[in-house]
Amino acid sequence: MQAPKKIFSGLMLLPLFLSVACVVFTVMMAGYVLWFYQGGYQEETAGDVYDRYYIMITQEGKSAFWQSVYSGACERALEENVYVDWLGSDQMQGYSVEEQMEIAIASGVDGIIVTAGENETLRELIDRAAESGIPVVTLYGDSTQSARCSFVGVGSYNLGREYGRQALKIMRERLTGVTDRPIKVTLLVNSYANSLDQNIIYSGIQEAIEQERGDAAIEVSLQSVDDTNAFSVEESVRDIFLGENVPDILICLNELNTTCAYQAVVDYNKVGSVSILGQYTSDTILNAIDRNVIYATVNIDTPQMGGFCIDALQEYHELGYTSQYFTADISLITKENVDAYLHREEPESDE
């Protein structure tokens, strides 16, 4: 009479066993992909011996923004006789940031550079890496409660104030005829990104507008973007233009959102009625500024940002500590200076 109970108990545990087996299989397969990836690197660099091996992990795929960050990291790494891989290749596109962190930790790399956020799972992974002797640098998005050794990003508050000042400039240049309602300013925020950084940017925008708006009625709001993939971002932005409260000024915090907003403005015939403040300097964004479709974009010194990541990891290995924060330079690109950026291969800061 006891056998049926034992069989039933075994069946109850079957889903748990299957789940564990799936996790183990995924990590093993991912580890094999990384091993294969490293093997390819070793063939390409036969004869070269590097002191350390670092991994860069980003949420998004190989956008122009992250390609530029990686290029800066590679250039600085070679100066230090270090090799840095970016898990943004086609082999790794099916894996989340957390899964890629698992792979990097299991592979025993010398350092990890990762776009982070304030979620518990990623914090625990960063802590586990640190406990394993692998220093972690958070990039662009921070995990403030983790054991990361350093954060490389931008000055979020100053960035927000710059967006706020540009929004006021748009209001005075283009929206002087709007007197029967408040001027609507919308900041696009991504669900995966560091909410603390985005909130600081939002506060900077609000403060700059509040201090300098005078008697003008301005409403500043947040709009969340579904960042599951490029298509979902595009759909989220288009939903804004199909709604009843289309903003007068749309502020975007990354290259993809900026590009999608630009395309939506053109598609829905909102050129001139919706002004875009963007981020980064892809050819699409620069040409849109030149054609007066995008009002301005903030250019982050992405090669410098990548170089700072290598500096932080190297300092930590050599000294046992490093600076808690590295802040990359930013500059503003408008119709007045965009021509200089369109006619050089790599945009530089306006210093």
Three-state SS for 229-247 is CHHHHHHHHHHHHHCCCCC
Buried b (16+ CB within 10 A) or exposed e, 58-73: bbbeebbbbebbbbbb
| Every domain of the chain and the residues it spans | 1-47, 48-154+303-329, 156-301+331-342
Q: What is the CA radius of gyration of the chain?
A: 23
The predicted model gives 105-109 an average pLDDT of 95
Specify whether domain 48-154+303-329 bears CATH 3.20.20.140: no
Specify whether domain 156-301+331-342 bears CATH 3.40.50.2300: yes
pLDDT at 177 over 90: no
The pLDDT assigned to 52 comes to 97
Domains 48-154+303-329 and 156-301+331-342 share a fold: yes
The structure tokens listed for 68 are 């530029």
The pLDDT assigned to 47 comes to 53
Structural contact between residues 310 and 82, judged by C-beta atoms closer than 8 angstroms:
yes
pLDDT at 34 over 70: no
Q: Which residues pair with 218 in a beta bridge?
A: 183
pLDDT band at 201 (very low <50, low <70, confident <90, very high): very high
C-alpha span between 216 and 172 (Å, rounded) = 10
The pLDDT assigned to 90 comes to 58
